[in-house]
């Protein structure tokens, strides 16, 4: 399903309002889980979020091409839809900032692990005044990461 089921503009506006509110709720839940450092718990939300986002994109695109799609919708519903859209965009922005922060943290942790592994690999094993560092032949490095982000 890529289009809202509606017989007229009023039903279409009401359906888009409900869809926008549900999509906003899903994005807020996801953002909250990310902030709580529980991104794996957001996985069950992805399927519904993806489906609703596709319908939303389709409807918004069609509305731009055909402004008459919402003809006959009451002013109150149109106003509620505008407010819901503003809240949706705010939730998306917050989600984007949270995802960017998680990405930066994750990249920093991976770099720190790689740097430490490299440092340990090149550390000398000899002691004393005449000790020299032995050149280690390049070899593979084992690294295990528990995917929780």
Residues 6+ positions from 71 with CB-CB distance below 8 Å: 8, 9
Q: Is the pLDDT reported for residue 102 higher than 60?
A: yes
| pLDDT over 60 at 149, yes or no | no
The dihedral over CA atoms of 5, 7, 9, 11, expressed in degrees to the nearest 10, equals -60
pLDDT in tens, 35-76: 998 989 999 999 999 999 999 999 999 989 998 888 899 999
- Kindly list the structural domains of the chain, giving each domain's residue range(s) and its CATH number in brackets, ordered by start: 9-114 (1.20.58)
- At 6-36, the pLDDT tens digits run 888 899 999 999 999 999 999 999 999 999 9
Q: Is the pTM of this model over 0.85?
A: no
Q: Find the helix packing angle between 9-35 and 75-122, rounded to 10°.
A: 30
């Amino acid at each position: 399903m890529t289009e809202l089921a509606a017989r007229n503009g009023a039903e279409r506006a009401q359906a888009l309002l409900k869809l926008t509110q549900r999509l906003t709720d899903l994005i807020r839940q996801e953002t909250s889980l990310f902030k709580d450092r529980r991104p794996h718990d957001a996985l069950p939300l992805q399927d519904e979020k993806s489906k609703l986002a596709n319908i939303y994109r389709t409807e918004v695109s069609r509305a731009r091409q055909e402004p008459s799609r919402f003809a006959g919708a009451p002013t109150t519903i149109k106003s509620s839809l505008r407010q819901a859209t503003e809240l949706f965009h705010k939730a998306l922005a917050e989600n984007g900032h949270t995802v960017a922060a998680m990405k930066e943290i994750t990249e920093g942790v991976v770099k720190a692990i790689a740097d430490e592994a490299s440092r340990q690999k090149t550390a000398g094993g000899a002691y004393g005044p005449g000790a020299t560092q032995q050149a280690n032949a390049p070899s593979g490095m084992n690294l295990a990461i528990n995917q929780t982000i």
